[in-house]
Amino acid sequence: MKTEAKEFATKAHTGQKRKNSNDEYITHPIRVAERLEREGFSEELVCAGYLHDVVEDTIYELEDIKERFGERVAFLVAAHTEDKSKSWKERKQHTIDTIKHADKEVKYLIVADKLDNLLGLELDLKLHGDSVWNNFNAGKEDQKWYNTSIVENMKVGLQKQEVPMYFDEYENLVKRIFN
């Protein structure tokens, strides 16, 4: 199922590029899925890692994910999908609220995604400086609010042994970029 999810996501994101670079967009979902797989998480969660941006950024809908990959994968993708009809702030507040109350697999997916995005941002800042912020829908202060809010809420409801090491990596990265 993981191979099929990777192939489906690759096809869905064909022609899309990452912000601030000429990298194929699919490199991001692949890194997210690989991180989740390294942690030993479920096949459904790894598939959701590959597919997490498909509904948000391509012609495919949640029903397509559900049909091909099942209820659980569709649930995980849906929990992570933003409603693009809402403002940036509303979408980000929804993600913050979601991560605070979500089941652990949703938390794992969201943080793996945010960590990969911020690792890319950190590299872009080193290469291009603060002009990178101009490529975002919200500036540095709003991005700081969003990412620090994710950090404040990502461990809520988790036992210490349920917190993957990359949560600490994300927290340290947020401090490096925004403090």
124 is catalytic: no
| CATH number for the domain harbouring residue 158 | 1.10.3210.10
The residue-averaged pLDDT of 11-20 equals: 81
User: What is the pTM assigned to this prediction?
Assistant: 0.93
57 is catalytic: yes
The residue-averaged pLDDT of 145-157 equals: 96
Candidate list 34, 39, 57, 169, residue with the active-site label: 57
pLDDT at 179: 84
Give CB contacts under 8 A, 24+ apart, made by 137-142. 137/88, 138/88, 138/89, 138/92, 140/178, 142/88, 142/89, 142/92
The residue-averaged pLDDT of 144-151 equals: 96
The residue-averaged pLDDT of 95-105 equals: 95
Domain that holds residue 146: 2-178
pLDDT at 159: 96
The residue-averaged pLDDT of 156-162 equals: 96
Give CB contacts under 8 A, 24+ apart, made by 151-155. 153/96, 153/99, 153/100, 154/99, 154/107, 154/110, 154/111
Of the ranges 104-108, 125-129, 145-149, which one carries the lowest mean pLDDT score? 125-129
pLDDT at 34: 97
The residue-averaged pLDDT of 17-28 equals: 81
Is residue 20 pLDDT above 70, yes or no?
no
Candidate list 56, 122, 142, 169, residue with the active-site label: 56
116-125 tens-digit pLDDT? 999 998 998 8
Based on the structure, what is the number of domains in the chain? 1
